[in-house]
Amino acid sequence: MRNTIITMLTVALLASSCARQPKMENECQYAQSQTAFAFWSPVAEQMEVRIYDEAVSDQPSVISLKKGRGDIWRGTIRGDQAGKFYTVRSFQNGEWSAESPGIFAKAVSINGQRGAIIDLQRTNPEGWDQDRRPAMPDKTDIVVYETHLRDFTMSPNSGIEHKGKFLALTEEGTKTADSLASGIDHLKELGITHLQVLPVFDYGSVDEQKAECSKLNAEGSYNWGYDPVNYNAPEGGYSTDPSDPAVRIREMKEMVQALHKAGIRVVMDVVYNHTYDVMGCALGRVVPQYFYRLNEDGSYANGSGCGNETASDHAMMRQFMVESVCYWAREYHIDGFRFDLMGIHDQETMRAIRAALDKIDPTILTYGEGWAAMAPAYPYEQLAMKQWTYTMPRVGAFSDDIRNALIGSPFDHERGFASGNTACKSAVCNGLVGCIGFEDPNGQLGAEPLRWAGEPMQHVSYITCHDNYCLRDRIEASAGEESEATKIRMNKLAQTAVLLSQGMSFIYGGEELFRTKQGIDNSYQSPDSINIIPWENKARYNDLYEYYRAMIAIRHAHKGFRLGSAEAVREHVSFLPIENEQVIVYRIANLEGIDSAKTLLVVFNGSAEAVETALPEGHYTILAEDGKADVEGLLCTEGPVLRVAPYSATVLAESER
């Protein structure tokens, strides 16, 4: 049977390749006078749409669809159908499939069981036509802050009314119990440019009727959302009324609009690499097996580690992904996409996505995880793995190289450079220049410099994200015997390297507040008590917060820390020859006409002792030292010796006397 199905699909796809491919995003096309349906299936013998007056109604009217050119099944229902619900099912191999909302449902009922017929124009908030992406004068300005909507807003000390909802990030003027800015005002104050939100499409692990729960219960009321059901409709658990399909759409748009007004772009975490399950998902019901990769024995391949992996290399899956990101970019004004387990997708698909988004706005971000959970069922050298990033221009990848070098691998309890490991210096240096294959005559990058990025902005510099330990817990796991003050020094040192690297800077939300998840390294379904941002920490660890804020300001103020091209990095960057394996001297010189400083110098000390190093002749403003930072400068020095405190970075800008 398996071979028969595959053969049928192959023949159908070859036949349809000569015809115009359908636009999946128009599966349900609403107009006041009629609603038109169009579904792609090369294997169906019959297809029908079932129309329901209510989301829970069990008495549908049935519309039989007719197969036309390109294996598209079409049908139309006259009159204004707004407010009704629909499902589609196909007859194949002697039986009817289970109902689904279709592959490209844009609006869905509670828990995504049925598609909803709505007028999308009516979901636009006031002023939506005037909404614009915040200005991005230079691609190197980017500083991404990642968070989960619920984690960021659920704390009783957040001062936010719509906790856990899209609307939480529309509230201005919110304050912590200590009268410090929280929510969207906190993000503005911090100085980040992009907010990356964990999945906000419709996902399967949370019952939207129970999404108000403040703690994890036996049924599971919390999840990060990496279990897609309907890729093109927002998750109802983040809306104030998940039973109304229009509310979740409108409120998500209101969130994007508010962030744009605050000068912050929005990055959407997308999980096209697998689905929540197979036969419970439209991709598995409408055209069985086609959208997934199979093993030789006919079982589903599992590169995601979640039971299946999608087949981006199949023409219609590739088209689906391209149309999906373009839909979010156009309809919701999304400014970027972070691809979960991007290494499961093929390189051609990622290049196609980049090309399609360029036609909308070239400043829309694309980056992802350049790896898979397990080996995908596709030739490795054709996958969008990190090592092939240079083949996908302007698609970035997370750098586990700089992450592991700075704080140690998440898979062991070893220390990193920022916590005293003497074996990580060269990897940190490679990360500082974006893993572009930087040739260093002074030998600070090791015998074979790392090269997987074509340009430094393809290198996503980070030390933590939602996966694995948060920074405080990672330091605790490897350096738990140290004092809290020392752990904070390590935190600052590691993040300084991220923020002053030539790559794209990425911060996990709450690290600036010294958050802890109580040692849980995979908190995807842990309760709020583990995952929430502890807003009370903003007062308790205000020195740490202000350091992050100052370092972001320093990055923004000095183009030398974000030169933007491999050519410029090779021209201006050098590493001074330092034999001490716990000291790095990172120099960006000859910056006249590029930066307000003619030279920038950073000395990283990853040891428990203060160190001294010779300072090249010049007049310097110290922007940061000993865990303090100020974009305007702390003091001035001319050397000739620079003393750098334990587990800290000293940042200097040379200017004319």
Catalytic hit among 146, 227, 323, 369: 369
Closest CA to 42 of 306, 329, 290: 290
Domain with CATH 2.60.40.1180 in the chain: 573-655
> What's the CATH superfamily of 573-655?
Golgi alpha-mannosidase II (2.60.40.1180)
The span from the CA of 201 to the CA of 101, in Å, is 14
What is the model's pLDDT at position 1? Answer: 44
The span from the CA of 247 to the CA of 404, in Å, is 42
Architecture of domain 2-99: Sandwich (2.60)
Q: Is residue 20 over pLDDT 70?
A: no
Judge whether 369 counts as a catalytic residue. Answer: yes
Q: What is the DSSP string of 42-81?
A: SS-SEEEEEEESSTT----EEEE-EEEGGGEEEEEEES--
Per the CB < 8 A criterion, the answer to whether 30 and 82 are in contact is yes
Q: Is residue 228 over pLDDT 50?
A: yes
The span from the CA of 281 to the CA of 421, in Å, is 47
Mean pLDDT along residues 386-411: 97
User: How much of the chain exceeds pLDDT 90, in percent?
Assistant: 89
The span from the CA of 221 to the CA of 368, in Å, is 27
Radius of gyration of the chain (CA): 26
Q: Mean pLDDT score of the chain, rounded to an integer? A: 94
Question: Is pTM, for the whole model, over 0.75?
Answer: yes
Which sign does the torsion angle of CA 157, 161, 162, 168 carry? negative
Q: Is residue 214 over pLDDT 70?
A: no
Count of residues in the chain: 657
Closest CA to 238 of 222, 226, 227: 222
Per the CB < 8 A criterion, the answer to whether 548 and 190 are in contact is yes
Could you read off the pLDDT of 189-202 as tens digits, one per residue? 999 999 999 999 99
Mean pLDDT along residues 152-160: 96
Catalytic hit among 340, 401, 476, 512: 340
Distance spanning both ends of the chain, measured CA to CA: 80
Per the CB < 8 A criterion, the answer to whether 600 and 502 are in contact is no
Lowest mean pLDDT among 135-144, 158-167, 195-204, 534-543: 135-144
Domain with CATH 2.60.40.10 in the chain: 2-99
Bridge-based pairing of strands 61-64 and 46-52 is antiparallel
